[in-house]
A and B are shown apart, each in its own frame.
Chain A
Amino acid sequence: MWKDLKTGLIAIVLMTVFLGLAYPLAITGISQVVFPGKANGSLVKAGGRVVGSSLIGQEFKGRAYFHPRPSATEYSGNVTFFGNAAPNSVEAREEVREYLKAYLQLEKPFDRSLTSEDVPVDAVTQSASGVDPHISDANARIQAHRVAAVRHLPLSQVEDLISANTDGRFLGLLGEPGVNVLELNIALDKEAPVE
């Protein structure tokens, strides 16, 4: 018994030092040397300044930008939680109704044929992370009408930008394709700045 106590005590101290400090600090050191950009959050710049992370969605309002998916956390990158809308709940129904209404209100003036049937699910549901950097291709192509009109760009040019800023499946196989909203908006600002 005494021997167990002694061994147990040494073991937990040893493992705390080895697995709790040496291991993560070594991984940090290697990462900072080999993958500094990724290890520090894949930050992206626009106009010479850091404007966010390509992995973390951020808030866009107004008609000149593509909008990200609804967020339960106001796109917080450091206080995260789920929206927790339940499958059979009245609140969830009301929430989707509100999002749907707002989406149609914003987009329909620029895309006259748009009906609720055309609205992709991702556009009116809260993401898991609250900072989903992507929207679906269908969502982006609906918003393209508005962005093209407001920025006085041909629709085809905006659609090309969508394609250029889509993160595809890995090897065409793993994951779902998504349009990276921040990178798309950066590209838009570069091609056709709004005054």
Chain B
Amino acid sequence: MAQGWLQIAVFVVVLVALIKPVGIYMAGVFTNQRVLLSPVVGPIERLTYRVLRVRPDAEGQDWKAYARSVIVFSLFSWVALYLILRTQGSQPFNPQGFHSGPWDLSFNTASSFVTNTNWQFYGGETTLTYFAQMAGLTVQNFVSAAVGIAVVVALIRGIVARSGRELGNFWQDLVRILLYILLPISVIGALFLVSQGVIQNLGDTSLVHTLAGGTQFLGQGPVASQEAIKELGTNGGGFFNVNSAFPFENASGLTNFFEMLLILVIPASLTYTYGRMVGSQRQGWAIFAAMFVLFIAGVAVVYMAEQHGTVAQHAAGLHTHAFSGSTGGNMEGKDQRFGIAGSSLWTAVTTVTSCGAVNAAFESLTGLGQAVPFANLSFSEVVFGGVGTGLYSMLLYVLLAVFIGGLMVGRTPEYLGKKIQAREIKLVSLGVLVTPLAVLLSSGLASATRLGTRSIYAGINPQGFSETLYAYLSQANNNGSALAGYTGFIQPHAPGNVGAYGISFADLLGGMVMIGARFLPILFVLGVAGALAGKKVSAAGLGTMRTDNPTFVVLLIGIVILVGALTFFPALLLGPVVQSLTTRLF
């Protein structure tokens, strides 16, 4: 395992080294300064404003106006994507001749990509045209990520603002985030991935005659361009059904490492950006530290659990220890080039963030290994989290911690000089609780009804319950990873997907959960930003509780675990906890 730990350590070191430069660059973009790329991108940016007919400097938005722009833009995004999915059969770039998607599945998929969830009931390579993948999904990979970042930028401006009610201009934030951050990194990332074997073409599925005299079809398509933004924007929707396990999406140990970095670089660096924008780097590091501790704990647990092997494998007489030339461990649902370490690290990376791309089968993780994705999602994606969404969700927990900490020691709850009062705490509580509520209600409904249990693959047992709970945890937290046996789309093996149909209940419930658990918190967050923007800043005194020292980091971690555990512990007992404590087979 030493080699595996070394790989994990190297990953952590490279990630931490990127945080400062990327964080500084992003802060420059968010505060509308000239940055490295301004000479190249500046003219395109100004032209874009002209086409959009916005004058960003003259049009500051208060929280309501900002929220309205977010909602309107997301609504148009949803309609555009839904229409593309429903009419793809008559669009270009369709060498396989795929038909248009059914209404219920398309509802789920459109909701999934507009909310940055990228939950996949559809199978990419067997249902979607290249046009739908590019003009539909790739576009949403970019813009849903940009929306998440824009919202956290607005929140930070609200925290920082010393007067007035303005949080900036949404359209300007959207354009700058796309042009200065997401697009340039994606271009470089995509070309690098192609250079390492990730495919990028528009050709039809190709037929080869194999060495042993058989035949094999090889899927093709514009994969790398989607792969780069899929990881960078913590989206996670695979071009292929098995996502980043498929070699054409993730070709080697190097691409695996690179893609994991793409997933974490923005969420992690935003903590630095935050410190810079609020004028105290220590505030950013405190948040980073809380996230980092929870992340490392998750990595360690999942790696050790997977190295141990599963109950079923041991019962079959298989020896899962490592020896010369074999990693040992639970290789079910994992590929050799990633091994146990590369698959375990990825599993933690993709579930602390709201990415949800997978390079191994979550359904085949060990009981304890599964508990890590469950725990990460139960923390409502605040451990780095999605791009933007992770930091704004964590800031809600920070305000909650300030409030609870203030009550415990009898001090006025204050954050960065601003009093935290009834209105903010009400909005924070709503923002923190709406996602868990959506999870428990929907997974309860899906577990208790025949309509819901139709989607289960593993049967009526702890694993089947885990599938259901995880499906709604993942969709509500806009993650998108899955215990993939759970299904909302039935595909018979017929050419052109004749006879395929969606499971309406799972498609619709999931779609509504994704939308509700994305946009309600956004409204609460912007509401908090608006409430904070107008507040006076008072100087820190002896009575002020510090939010940039280790004590606060511990308090913050405690609050995150407390809320997650109190909310989900009973449900987790029935699934992953049972399976990790027993040697029984079901």
Contacts and interface: CB of A to CB of B under 8 A. Distances in A.
A128 B344 CA distance: 13
Contact of B199 (A41, A94, A128, A135): A41
Contacts of B337: 132-134, 167, 175-176, 178
Given A136-B336, A170-B252, A100 B316 contact: yes
A50 B224 contact: no
Interface residues of A, number: 106
A88 B311 contact: yes
Given A97-B317, A116-B318, A121-B329, A170 B254 contact: yes
A80 B75 contact: no
Given A15-B143, A39-B201, A77-B218, A59 B326 contact: no
B458 interface: yes
Contacts of A35: 194-195
B134 A24 contact: yes
Given A82-B333, A134-B337, A129 B245 contact: yes
Q: Which of B194, B211, B316, B493 has the most CB of A within 10 A?
A: B211
Given A30-B191, A56-B218, A24 B328 contact: no
Interface string B1-33: 000001100100000000000000000000000
Interface string B189-204: 0110011111111110
A130 B242 contact: yes
Contacts of A122: 326-327, 331, 336
Interface string A27-57: 1101110110011111100100111110110
Interface residues of B, number: 128
B200 A120 contact: no
Contacts of B196: 38
Contact of B585 (A14, A88, A116): A88
Contact of A24 (B174, B225, B248, B485): B225
Nearest to B459: A89
Given A27-B187, A38-B199, A87-B463, 13 more contacts: A6-B53, A8-B76, A31-B224, A32-B201, A53-B208, A77-B217, A85-B312, A93-B316, A133-B337, A134-B335, A170-B257, A173-B10, A186-B211
Query: What are the 3 closest A-B residue pairs judged by CB atoms, nearest first?
Result: A175-B253, A176-B339, A138-B325
Interface of B: 6-7, 10, 48, 51-54, 68-69, 72-73, 75-77, 80, 123, 125-126, 134-136, 138-139, 142-143, 171, 174, 178, 183, 186-187, 190-191, 194-203, 205-206, 208-212, 214, 216-220, 222, 224-226, 240-242, 245-248, 251-254, 256-257, 309-313, 315-320, 323-339, 341-343, 359-361, 363-367, 369-370, 457-458, 462-463, 483-485, 493, 579, 582, 584-586
27 contacts: A7-B52, A9-B76, A19-B139, A21-B134, A24-B225, A24-B226, A31-B200, A51-B208, A51-B211, A55-B247, A56-B216, A56-B248, A58-B212, A61-B212, A77-B216, A78-B125, A79-B493, A84-B458, A88-B582, A89-B458, A93-B316, A116-B317, A120-B326, A121-B313, A174-B253, A174-B256, A189-B211
